[in-house]
Amino acid sequence: MGTSLGTQPERPIRTTGPAVLAQGLTKRYGDTHALDDFDLTVPRGTVQGLLGPNGAGKTTAVRILSTLLRPDGGRAMVAGHDVTGDPRRVRRHIGLVGQHPAVDEAVTGRRNLTLFGRLFHLDRRRAARRADELLESFGLVEAADRGVKQYSGGMRRRLDLAVSMILAPDVLFLDEPTTGLDPRGRNEVWGAVRSLLAGGTAVLLTTQYLDEADKLADRIAVLDRGRKIADDTPDRLKRDLGGDRIEIVVRDTADLPRLVEVVARVADGGGEPVTDREERRVTAPVGDRVAALTHVARTCQDAGIAIEDIGVRRPTLDEVFLRLTGRRAHEPDPPSTGSTPDRPQAAPVEEAIRP
């Protein structure tokens, strides 16, 4: 896949300032806050991740920022334009890729791109030229004249991304773009997203795949029950949870007490080792990862403690998510007596794509 998006001749004139600026956004459904005093700043040419469990407000935020839903309070600027005061101008500067492919499976990839180009008011020649550029950029040249129904899931999502880039938008909204894809398809989409940044496009990505956010996002905002509870780089979010941890799995559960004594000697700041008897695992925070690993391995060998696995690792985003929200990313929401609709009725297609 190429790393360029062609000559990008159709990009509207850029505005100054952040690509996305949201201040105090709120959205209510009855007594339930889908968004509650939500702030966000996304610089140009960066990927901002939005994480949160189902119903946290991720999709509501995207729909407001992409002009498909009006907020009840607060304000938002996208590409320098007010999403409620000037939605038509905002739409000229954005692209939107939802959770389900929007392309027509009955025609070819090339035909899809030219048709959408015409919908965006390009003349026939410019629509055809832009289709050729995007097919090249997204690695779809060989499949350009095949019916989309013959495409793999990853290829369809790349075609979706290509459609969203017809006007080379300042901001691209990706709402869980790799849901349902296999690992190869997800990698294909990730490569396409990375290629967008060279042209200065800002990407707002909602996802429940934490490895996806970790690999793609420059910053990650975590939402829970409509409120933003964290916003930082992936590395800082993990670092704030704690540093390196040594992790040892023994072959025999009976060796766990002796192993705890060994690990306690290298635990950073005198931290208490944590024992998981079911997994036969002991973990503890460490400062010098190499020294700790060497000491524990040598001591266990001398003491006759059979080790099945040993390593030093850093916290994952899943652990950050668990600490912040009290549950893991794929756990369902707790039972609620109220409704938390994070998927409002879709706007008409012509409303969504009209420049």
What pLDDT digit, counting tens, does each position of 276-300 carry?
A: 999 999 988 888 889 999 999 999 9
Whether 14 shows a pLDDT value over 70: the answer reads no
Q: Looking at residue 15, what is its pLDDT?
A: 57
Rounded to an integer, what distance in angstroms lies between the CA atom of residue 60 and that of residue 166? 25
Provide the CATH topology of domain 20-232: Rossmann fold (3.40.50)
Rounded to an integer, what distance in angstroms lies between the CA atom of residue 173 and that of residue 158? 14
Average pLDDT over residues 95-107: 85
- pLDDT tens digit string along 83-99? 999 999 999 899 888 77
Provide the CATH topology of domain 244-315: Alpha-Beta Plaits (3.30.70)
Q: Looking at residue 9, what is its pLDDT?
A: 42
Contact 50, 62 (CB under 8 A): yes
Average pLDDT over residues 220-242: 89
Whether 126 shows a pLDDT value over 80: the answer reads yes
- The type of residue at 12 is P
Token pair of 115, please?
Answer: 């048709």
Q: What's the angle, vertex CA 204, arms to CA 202 and CA 209, rounded to 5?
A: 130
Q: Looking at residue 334, what is its pLDDT?
A: 52
Q: Say which residues have a Cβ less than 8 Å from residue 350's Cβ, sequence separation at least 6.
A: none
Q: Looking at residue 151, what is its pLDDT?
A: 94
280-290 burial, b if ≥16 CB within 10 A, otherwise e?
Answer: bbbbbbbeebe
* pLDDT above 70 as % of the chain: 86
Between strands 219-224 and 227-232, the pairing is: antiparallel
Q: Say which residues have a Cβ less than 8 Å from residue 189's Cβ, sequence separation at least 6.
A: 154, 157, 158, 161, 177, 178, 181
- pLDDT tens digit string along 155-201? 998 898 889 888 888 999 998 888 777 888 788 888 878 877 877 88
> DSSP 3-state assignment of 193?
helix
For CATH 3.30.70.100, the residue range(s) in the chain are: 244-315
Q: Looking at residue 241, what is its pLDDT?
A: 73
Q: Say which residues have a Cβ less than 8 Å from residue 348's Cβ, sequence separation at least 6.
A: none
Whether 214 shows a pLDDT value over 80: the answer reads yes
The whole-model pTM stands at 0.73
For CATH 3.40.50.300, the residue range(s) in the chain are: 20-232
